[in-house]
Amino acid sequence: MSRTTWGRIAGAAVVVVGVLLAASLPKPPAEAGPEFAERIQPVVETSALASLWHCPWINSGSTRSSFLAVAAIPDVEVDFTHPDPRVGEPADLGSLSVAGPGAAALDVAEIVNRGDAPGFVEFSDGPATATAIVAGLTALSGDRCIGSIPKLWHLPGLTTRDGYDLVLRLFNPIPDNAKVGVQASSELGSEALPDLQSVDIVGRTWVDIDLAEAIPFLDNLAITVSAEEGTVIPVVIQGRQKDEASWPATGLSTVWEFPTATLAGLAPRLAVWNPNAFPVDVDVDFYTQNSNLQSVFTGTIEAGRPVEFPLADQTSRAVGVRVRATGAVAAAVVAEDVAELTAGQDEADEATAGSRIAATVGAPNPSRSWLLPGAGAAVGGQSSIWVLNTSSQSVTVTIQPLGSGQLAPDKVRLDPQTIRRIRLSSSRRVGGYRVDAAAPITVSWSLQTREAVALFAGVAIGD
């Protein structure tokens, strides 16, 4: 039997056993339930008060178009820097003005068609934020840019099984050199990465690591990146046939909220990574457009292990997700086409049955105000806003388009413990949205075409 087949069987067995244990545990009585820790705010999840945002995944060239979407509350000047991969060569620069509150989506090709390269955005004032959107004929990817740079990062939800590409990008945005370490854990335990224990990254450059080659045939993978010297911003690009997904690294939190976990036809999975030296109890709650289902999954994640929860096994409807844990964890949602074997199809061709894939990180805290740069903009595809209310009170939500001129807002009523989808009409006058509510909610948005899909986390406006 081939190494590929053994790897698939062993990985699948461990994942299935772990998930079944978590899913089959009965919900304990209220007085005996896990004592969830107080919410902690991860240092990497910054609000829109940050003035400098880093966008590690931009690809503008012959096969991809990239859009830099920005949104701001006050009038701002926006400066965009696109570093040259050749050490010592000057970066390409771009700028634009945004009348606040407003938003704009800039085609990166108007600055330079550099191909696959990161960039960063600086605002003269705030609150303001940025998102990078990468689009090809059959691919969509992107997520919010990064507004702070801690020393420790986490990336759950990865896979290197057959039919998938996986690249880890390490972007050093400052002139000083950086030295970082990369560690990995899978359903099989800790994975050896001797060549990645100490990676040097020259200032204002980046390093791409092919994880599908370094640690192949793993179903459920989590990566931790630590900066020993200098600074680094990690992001992953997960490819599946023609489509791709990218999502940024995060910090740790005892609560994660995902307003959307899937779109029609996609099967979502929730990845939770416990990097602690002790077990962590986890509850996973579902929220639909009509009601919530508490403790759909309840179980324990062992120390140093990633676990996946197959959300599609519980419901085929649109669903929002909340993760509560007794210790700080990292989490991500990945949604993709389900591979279905047809008569006479070989198992080796299973991965070619579908190619759409999307992923996103969650929010550690609800907020009363959110910025969604790029939502509703004319970048190709249908976009939607997703709103999650985990509280026991209904709330009125104001959906305000941002762009050129005065644009009329919409108001929707969000029932307690439900989600709401607001479909948007793309407009050249719109560059993004602001979402406000009388009580804290969580907001995200999605972008889709017939061939591809992408999920984007919203950015909270700091108080």
Q: Which of the pair, 90 or 121, is modelled with greater confidence? A: 121
Residue whose pair of structure tokens reads 């696959």 in the numeric block: 116
- Whether the pLDDT of residue 272 is over 80: the answer is yes
- C-alpha–C-alpha distance, residues 10 and 8, integer Å: 6
Going by pLDDT thresholds of 50, 70 and 90, the confidence category of residue 323 is: very high
Q: Which of the pair, 277 or 148, is modelled with greater confidence? A: 277
Tell me: the pLDDT tens digits for 113-164?
877 889 999 999 999 999 999 998 888 998 889 988 889 999 999 999 999 9
Least confident range from 63-67, 242-246, 361-365, 446-450: namely 63-67
Going by pLDDT thresholds of 50, 70 and 90, the confidence category of residue 219 is: very high
Q: Mean pLDDT across the chain, nearest whole number?
A: 86
- So what's the pLDDT on residue 262? 86
- C-alpha–C-alpha distance, residues 324 and 256, integer Å: 7
From residue 218, alpha-carbon distances to 155, 187, 221, 377 in Å are 15, 8, 7, 37
Tell me: the pLDDT tens digits for 409-460?
999 999 999 999 999 988 899 999 999 999 999 999 999 998 999 999 999 9
List, as own/partner pairs, every contact residues 314-318 make where C-beta atoms lie below 8 angstroms and the sequence separation is at least 24, other chains included: 314/286, 315/286, 315/288, 317/288, 317/289, 318/260, 318/262, 318/263, 318/264, 318/288, 318/289, 318/419, 318/421
- Whether the pLDDT of residue 71 is over 80: the answer is yes
- C-alpha–C-alpha distance, residues 53 and 121, integer Å: 5
Tell me: the pLDDT tens digits for 156-191?
999 999 999 999 999 999 889 999 999 999 999 999
Domains of the chain: 367-460 (2.60.290.11)
Query: The whole model's pTM is what?
Result: 0.87
Percent of the chain past pLDDT 90, that is, above it, reads 66
